[in-house]
Amino acid sequence: MLINTKTTIKGLALYALTIGTLTVKAQTAPAGNLYEQSSEVAGTIIRYGQDMNAIHDFYSPYNVNDRAEEQYKQDVINSPEQRKRLIEVDNDYLKQLEQTDFNALSIYGKVDYILLKKRINFDLKDLKKEEGLYSQAAKYISFADEIYALEQKRRRGTFVDGEKVAGDLNKILKELKADTTAYRKLPSVDMPIAKVTKAALVGLKGRLKDFFGFYNKYDPSFTWWVPEPYKALDNALNRYSELAISKGKLNTSQKSDSSGIKGVPIGREELINQLQAEMIPYTPEELIKLANKEFAWCDKEMLKASQEMGFGSDWKKALEKVKNSYVPVGHQPELIVKLYNDALSFIKERDLITIPPLAEETWGMVMMSPQRQLVNPFFTGGKEISISYPTNTMQYEDRLMSMRGNNPYFSKGTVQHELIPGHNLQYFMNSRYKAYRQDFGTPFAVEGWALYWELLLYDKGFAKTPEERVGMLFWRMHRCARIIFSLNYHLGNWTPQQCIDFLVDRVGHEKANAEGEVRRSFEGGYSPLYQVAYLLGGLQLTELRKELVDSGKMTYKQFHDAAIKENLIPVEMLRATLTNQALTKDFTTSWKFYDFGTK
């Protein structure tokens, strides 16, 4: 799993990537090298990102940090004015794209065009959804526009009358108290509306703080009149925001169970919409069939390994032996380093991908907190690997389950998933090649790439002993199970407890680890398709590799080097790039990457 997969384009010196402003000598920088970093549309993407950042920054409240040394932008819900400007900028860029001669673009430019258009339309949909929710919450915050008006004056330093401001704040406080009283009488509020109401109140609190901080101590009249009314209003906003969320009721079609996990199944229609948006042209039912087919293959492989270990068809006994191979507390970090070195040596010996020496030098490791381990029972990766292992504050059973769930054989196939050539190398390369594409990231590329390496290494014989095969197969079964339980849950077929039981009974998870996995899936803020993306993205890349490498068109190294330099784009767009596919400006997903025939 990758931490911080979405990076907003900030003020990097990316102008050098834009062909329109690039000054080079043709003989020293051939076009192929330029397309390694850019395209004809790259400049538009960079400007779009910077323009959206400018709107976000300008219309967000400034706050001073705790040391009163520097100001920073507070990330709060959009104000109506801010949202309107974001929508206008989005529509302006759609018009710019319409004026582009799509057919004159290179394949790199066409892919960027399609991805930018997709990104803008997604943003517009998101803003319209936020606008709808805010309009329903507006009746609970009748005073909001008066605070927004004060914020507007602060932006350009308009002189304000301190006595009048104090009176205005006192009036707003009375309105807020009336709204609070009315809200308190409500039996409940639909949870999405309650969340937006709280977010709006938190935003208003931040905007009011920005207004107050700008004038206070600098304007004598303001400083004499305003602090006490401001303090009273600030406290009232804080209390109201807590009340707002406390009234929230989760209206869900989820069937009640004993798990204590509360989520909201999104239904078949929304699943299909999200699959189309992720460029996956399959129905949920087809994907469950796919996962069951992959699971059946895993079952056969697991039985072979179990028999070699002397447990016959009782593969769970083989799994139990593997789980009990955990290293003593204090020794997990050195195990991680050993497993990393094993994987790296295997990859280098087969010349599978170019690994920059600096990437090898600069990956880091941290220990995961007990709190994070409740929802991330296994290690995660990115710039560093976060190691999940027991702490002295855990209960005995939790300690044992953490150690058993992170044993050497389970970890063998996943350390490289988190480090090199998985998420850490992604992090390294994505910041160096086509960095402007990072807002196009999708879990099907992020997690798919890391999972692809698990599949490839298994096929290449990385797991030499039956115990090592059991460890790697456990994770492959886990990825199959993720598709099955996630989609069944969102289709309304399964409860969270059924999902937990499935992971325990069918995959062999420790109970606490299974609970953490399901809780993370439905309460952790991940998109409904995030858990589905691992295996599907890996299978997409596997099929593309067969198309290009197994056919002899590219070597493994050429394929992997080319793929990772295209950044975190949908795999279907990577395929279009590497095969120079004919594309149209209104491209829709169509690539059927999975063979449902005999495996």
- Map residue 227 onto helix, strand or coil: helix
Q: What is the largest CA-CA distance in the chain?
A: 86
Among 199, 227, 249, the domain boundary falls at 249
Is residue 11 over pLDDT 60?
no
Residue 158 lies in a domain: yes
Query: Does 68 have pLDDT greater than 50?
Result: yes
Q: Kindly state whether residue 393 falls inside one of the protein's structural domains.
A: yes
Q: Are residues 372 and 318 in the same domain?
A: yes
pLDDT over threshold 70, residue 9: no
Q: Is the pLDDT of residue 40 over 90?
A: yes
| Residue 31 banded pLDDT, cuts 50, 70, 90 | low
Among 4-13, 91-100, 159-168, 488-497, the minimum mean pLDDT is found in 4-13
DSSP letter assigned to residue 568: S
Phi, psi torsion values for 172, nearest 5 degrees: -60, -40
State how far the alpha carbon of 150 is from the alpha carbons of 64, 157, 228, 298, 350, in Å: 18, 11, 17, 62, 64
Confidence of residue 259 (pLDDT cuts 50, 70, 90): confident
Assign 316 a pLDDT band (cuts: 50, 70, 90).
very high
| For residue 421, cis peptide bond before it (omega within 30 degrees of 0) | yes
3-state SS class at 476: helix
Residues 183 and 59 both lie in one domain? no
Is 151 inside a domain boundary?
A: yes
Q: Let me know whether 223 and 301 are in one domain.
A: no
String of DSSP letters for 496-541: HHHHHHHIIIII---HHHHHHHHHHHHHSS--TTHHHHHHHHHHHH
**Please, what is the average pLDDT of the chain?**
90
Element (H, E) at 189: strand 189-190
- Please check whether residue 456 lies inside any domain of the structure: yes
Q: Which two tokens stand for residue 97?
A: 């794209």
In a domain? residue 349: no
pLDDT digits (tens, 9 = 90+) for 133-143: 999 999 999 99
Q: Indicate whether 19 pLDDT > 90.
A: no
Same domain for 172 and 310, yes or no, is no
47 pLDDT exceeds 90? yes
H or E element at residue 335:
helix 332-349
- pLDDT tens digits for 552-594? 999 999 999 999 999 999 999 999 999 999 999 999 999 999 9
d(CA 278, CA 157): 45
Q: Is residue 181 part of a domain?
A: yes
Beta bridge partners of 554: none
Q: Which of 59-63, 249-253, 287-291 has the lowest mean pLDDT?
A: 249-253
The per-residue pLDDT for 332 is 83
Question: Which comes out higher in pLDDT, residue 336 or 165?
Answer: 165
Percentage of residues of the chain with pLDDT beyond 70: 92
Domain of 426, in residue numbers: 286-325+335-340+359-579
Phi-psi region of 160 (alpha: psi -120 to 50; beta: other; left: phi over 0): beta
Distance in angstroms (rounded) separating the CA atoms of residues 206 and 210: 6
Q: Is 78 exposed, middle or buried (0-12, 13-18, 19+ CB in 10 A)?
A: buried
C-alpha–C-alpha distance, residues 50 and 66, integer Å: 28
Does 298 lie in the same domain as 186? no
Output the six-digit token pair for 23: 């000054």
Instruction: Tell me: do 115 and 160 sit in the same domain.
Output: no
| Confidence tier at 301 by pLDDT (50, 70, 90) | very high
Phi, psi at 73, each rounded to 5°: -85, 130
In this structure, are 162 and 293 located in the same domain? Answer: no
Q: Which of 197, 225, 249 is the last residue of a domain?
A: 249
- pLDDT surpasses 80 at 193: yes
Same domain, 182 and 236: yes
Condensed to tens digits (0 to 9), the pLDDT of residues 201-245 reads 999 999 999 999 999 999 999 999 999 999 999 999 999 999 999
Query: What's the start-to-end Cα distance of the chain, in Å?
Result: 27
Number of domains comprising the chain: 3
In a domain, 265, yes or no: no
